[in-house]
Amino acid sequence: MNSKIGRLYPSTKFACVLLVTLLCMFSPGYTFQYAVLPLILVLSIFSHTFWKFVSAFIKSIFVVVLFIFVVQVFIINNEDSQSLWWIFSFSNIGFENSLAMTSKIVGISSCIIFFFQVTSTKDINYALEESGVPKKVTFVVASTIQLVPQMSSLSKAITDAQKSRGIETEGSLWVRMKSFVPMIGPLVLSSIQQTEERVLTLESRAFSSKKKKTSIYELAKTKADYIITASCLLILVGFIIWRVIK
């Protein structure tokens, strides 16, 4: 967040993500889509989020990509499938199909992951409010973004509490399944309690008031924001013209 990329206005970073998403979806082949990942890795180094990005990418997108490759290349039968062992076979057609499918997933998802790692929820809320988005919509967006981290933190706290009471939470799959059931109750009840506390907090801040609110926190657009946004627009227009002519 403290890097030059992190200090860019949220709409500027969103414009870049939207541009890359459209280019990944409508660009032929898969070279550009896969080239997005090394570019994001370089940007993550400059924004000091390299290991955080790599960890998030491996835990989520890499697993999906690997699964698609295995299914398309070694399990689905195509015209050129060559038997290897049991139900497994190798197919060049499946390999090409997997590259086409996973390239878009890699390109788009890496941009989205990087966007949320260099953009705080506070900045997103501020940008939405300044753009005239209703407060209720802003609250829903912020709650959705914070849902997974909050639930993960809460489940970790409940797991630690169960460990302190002598409940086994680590070990075989069966042990983990047994410890998962007693964790559901406290997790659901705590979530309901937090919802009630959140409602009271919003009312204490005059959330339902119709008057325009002022904010101590300010986030202004810089010259770089305007240049980057205009560049994204020009690249998109140029890409559309190129696709139409081609």
Min mean pLDDT across 123-127, 140-144, 152-156, 173-177 is at 173-177
In DSSP terms, which residues pair with 86 in a beta bridge?
A: none
Min mean pLDDT across 2-6, 10-14, 64-68, 86-90 is at 86-90
Return d(Cα 176, Cα 143) in angstroms, integer.
29
Cα atoms found within 13 Å of the Cα of residue 74, Cβ hemisphere only: 10
218: left (phi over 0), alpha (psi -120 to 50) or beta: beta
- Tell which residue, 162, 125, 122, has the closest CA to residue 140: 125
Confidence at residue 227, expressed as pLDDT on a 0 to 100 scale: 92
Task: Give 115 or 87, the one with higher predicted confidence.
Answer: 115
Q: Any idea of the CA torsion for 97, 100, 106, 109, to the nearest 10 degrees?
A: -110
One-letter amino acid at 245 equals I
Tell me the range of 4-13, 68-77, 209-218 where mean pLDDT is highest: 4-13
- Tell which residue, 19, 16, 75, has the closest CA to residue 47: 16
- Tell which residue, 73, 68, 67, has the closest CA to residue 93: 73
Global pTM reads 0.76
DSSP per-residue string spanning the chain:
--STTTTS-HHHHHHHHHHHHHHHHHSSSSHHHHHHHHHHHHHHHHTT-HHHHHHHHIIIIIHHHHHHHHIIIIIS--TT-EEEETTEEE-HHHHHHHHHHHHHHHHHHHHHHHHHHHS-HHHHHHHHHHTT--HHHHHHHHHHHHHHHHHHHHHHHHHHHHHHTT---SSSHHHHHHHHHHHHHHHHHHHHHHHHHHHHHHHHTTTT--SPPP-S------HHHHHHHHHHHHHHHHHHHHHHH-
**Cα–Cα distances in Å, from 49 out to 67, 235, 237?**
26, 27, 31
Task: Give 170 or 229, the one with higher predicted confidence.
Answer: 229
pLDDT tens-digit map of 95-121: 888 888 888 999 999 999 999 888 888
